[in-house]
């Protein structure tokens, strides 16, 4: 076998992900709030970028003009400075012996913060008379209560950790279980419901029996079996189950964590003006940026700077230009995609959710002349403010089924019709999945029983055995 070196020329095509292309892709998939943070970060890292504030420049120009007019009259100019120093508010002195006027505080100027679940329980603990030892045990127990309101440590573990008796722990736990909301401090679902049963003063023994031994049967819809074992009528079990549904199995879930608040700023605004939809890309929250002319002057031939300085400024200038181009390209892409969505889903915006048409990324990509991945990035984590409310741009896309006539109907519309059918059924004789499928076929929708069961599960509609009323 002959071995050696050879030189060959081959022509190939490769797609290279340059830093500029990566930046353009990253900017496209940013939401409005994320884009604002990204621009602020670039302003700190790139000295050739600066805020483009035209109003500020106009204000400075008018200020310079006022100064020029004031310089013509030295007497008036000196008088202004005289009045300025007589004010003495910036000097910390009271030259005229005037009284200091303290601004009154208004409680409306303070920002309120919703207390957390733990803070709410601790505030109730401080209002209860107890010894320091009992308070320390109760604080430790409250610290081990999760966001649902359940105690995640056994009293034995608490007594072992704190080196106290189990009787003291049980006394502190009993104190906490009397706090609001009712059911807090329970160790399981059964104890939680029993605490609420006693706190609300429910006078129905069947509810108590259901909590103590029939929660599993009740969840499976076996009401007839429960009635047979308790020796009562099915109607009494149904009534007791309705009372049981008014209790809260997760008493701590109504206390939201303020740190999990998520603010939504619409990236696109759609307004209906004289029967036509006007689309605006919402860039009012993003800072306007431009190239700093002072640093850019380094690249002129008249300035004699060393090559290292020129290379640094040139690199930063290219990065700044690419960032501005990427932001502008993001705005144009968002406008194209939003315009296409409004065009194709106009019936939905006019008449409601029932008129939402089946739509996917490929349909939009073909119409606007972009790649599917570009459309996906342009609609990911973006929101559109419409006359129907603030909607996620991804909600305009949905799958569909073929009707009997050959037309395509969106899955959202089918789910809406399914909900209406279940809401209008006779609760004593509810419809099974096959009957619902037959009703939808009568309306021109070809759908199988398994698909009905799938949609029903997605809508959290229980099965026929759990919807029946006696």
Q: For the chain, give the number of residues.
A: 470
Q: Is 273 helix (H, G, I), strand (E, B) or coil?
A: strand
Pull the structure tokens for residue 268: 């696109």
pLDDT tens per residue across all 470 residues of the chain: 567 777 888 888 776 667 777 888 888 888 888 888 899 999 898 888 888 776 445 544 554 555 455 444 444 444 444 444 444 444 444 444 445 455 555 555 555 667 888 999 999 999 988 889 999 999 999 999 998 999 999 999 999 999 999 999 999 999 999 999 999 999 999 999 999 999 999 989 999 999 998 998 888 888 889 999 999 999 999 999 999 999 999 998 887 555 556 678 899 999 999 889 999 998 887 888 888 877 777 666 656 667 787 788 888 888 888 899 999 999 999 999 999 999 999 989 998 888 888 889 999 999 999 999 999 999 998 999 999 899 999 989 988 777 766 677 888 888 888 999 998 988 888 999 999 999 988 888 888 899 999 999 989 898 888 888 88
Q: Are residues 370 and 360 in contact, defined by beta-carbon separation less than 8 angstroms?
A: no
CA distance 467 to 435: 15
pLDDT at 61: 57
Closest listed residue to residue 28, CA positions, set 332, 278, 395, 384: 332
Closest listed residue to residue 341, CA positions, set 378, 393, 266, 386: 393
Maximum Cα interatomic distance, the chain, rounded to a whole number of Å: 107
Pull the structure tokens for residue 326: 């990427």
CA distance 399 to 451: 13
Q: Is 271 helix (H, G, I), strand (E, B) or coil?
A: strand
pLDDT at 338: 94
Cis peptide before 345 (omega within 30 of 0): no
Q: Is 183 helix (H, G, I), strand (E, B) or coil?
A: coil
Question: Which backbone phi and psi does 122 adopt, to 5 degrees?
Answer: -65, -35
Helices 155-162 and 166-176 meet at what angle, rounded to 10?
Answer: 120
CA distance 437 to 450: 9
DSSP letter assigned to residue 424: T
Pull the structure tokens for residue 77: 């100019």
Q: Are residues 362 and 13 in contact, defined by beta-carbon separation less than 8 angstroms?
A: no
Helix (H) or strand (E) holding 329: helix 307-344
The pairing of strands 268-273 and 400-402 is unpaired
Pull the structure tokens for residue 4: 């050696």
The domains found in the chain, sorted by start residue, are 117-245 (1.10.10.1330), 268-396 (no CATH), 400-467 (1.10.10.60)
């Amino acid at each position: 076998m002959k071995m050696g070196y050879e030189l060959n020329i081959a022509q190939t095509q490769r797609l290279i992900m340059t830093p500029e292309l990566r930046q353009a892709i990253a900017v496209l998939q940013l939401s409005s709030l994320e884009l604002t943070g990204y621009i602020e970060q670039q302003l700190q890292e790139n000295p050739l970028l600066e805020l483009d504030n035209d109003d500020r420049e106009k204000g400075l120009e008018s200020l310079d003009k006022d100064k020029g007019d004031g310089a013509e009259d030295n007497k008036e100019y000196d008088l202004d400075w005289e009045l300025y120093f007589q004010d003495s508010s910036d000097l910390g002195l009271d030259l005229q012996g005037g009284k200091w006027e303290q601004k009154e505080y208004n409680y409306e100027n303070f920002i309120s913060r919703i207390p957390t679940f733990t803070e709410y329980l601790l505030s109730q603990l401080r209002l209860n008379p107890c010894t320091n030892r009992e308070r320390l045990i109760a604080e430790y127990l409250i610290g081990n209560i999760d966001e649902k309101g359940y105690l995640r440590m056994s009293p034995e573990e608490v007594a072992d950790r704190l080196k106290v008796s189990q009787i003291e722990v049980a006394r502190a736990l009993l104190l906490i279980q009397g706090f609001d909301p009712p059911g807090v401090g329970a160790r399981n679902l059964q104890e939680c419901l029993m605490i609420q049963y006693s706190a609300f003063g429910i006078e129905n023994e069947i509810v108590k029996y259901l909590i103590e031994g029939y929660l599993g049967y009740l969840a499976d819809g076996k009401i007839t079996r429960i009635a047979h074992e308790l020796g009562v009528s099915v109607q009494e079990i149904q009534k007791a189950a309705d009372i049981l549904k008014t209790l809260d199995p997760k008493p701590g879930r109504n206390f939201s964590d303020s740190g999990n608040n998520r603010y939504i700023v619409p990236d696109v605004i759609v307004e209906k003006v004289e029967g036509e939809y006007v689309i605006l890309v919402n860039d009012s929250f993003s800072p306007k940026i431009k190239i700093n002319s002072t640093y850019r002057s380094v690249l002129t031939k008249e300035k004699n700077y060393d090559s290292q300085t020129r290379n640094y400024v040139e690199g930063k200038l290219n990065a700044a230009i690419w960032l501005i181009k990427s932001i502008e390209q993001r705005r144009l892409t968002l406008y194209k995609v939003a315009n296409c969505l409004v065009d194709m889903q106009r019936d939905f915006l006019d008449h409601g959710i029932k008129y939402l048409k089946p739509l996917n990324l490929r349909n939009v990509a073909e119409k606007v002349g972009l790649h599917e991945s570009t459309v996906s990035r342009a609609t990911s984590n973006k929101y559109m403010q419409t006359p129907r409310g603030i909607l996620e741009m991804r909600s305009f896309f949905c799958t569909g089924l073929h009707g009997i006539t050959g037309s395509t109907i969106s899955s959202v519309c089918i789910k809406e019709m399914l909900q209406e059918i279940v809401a209008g059924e006779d609760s004593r004789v509810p419809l099974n999945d096959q009957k619902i499928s037959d009703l939808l076929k009568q309306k021109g929708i070809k759908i199988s029983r398994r698909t009905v069961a799938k949609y029903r599960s997605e809508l959290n509609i229980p099965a026929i055995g759990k919807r029946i009323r006696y």
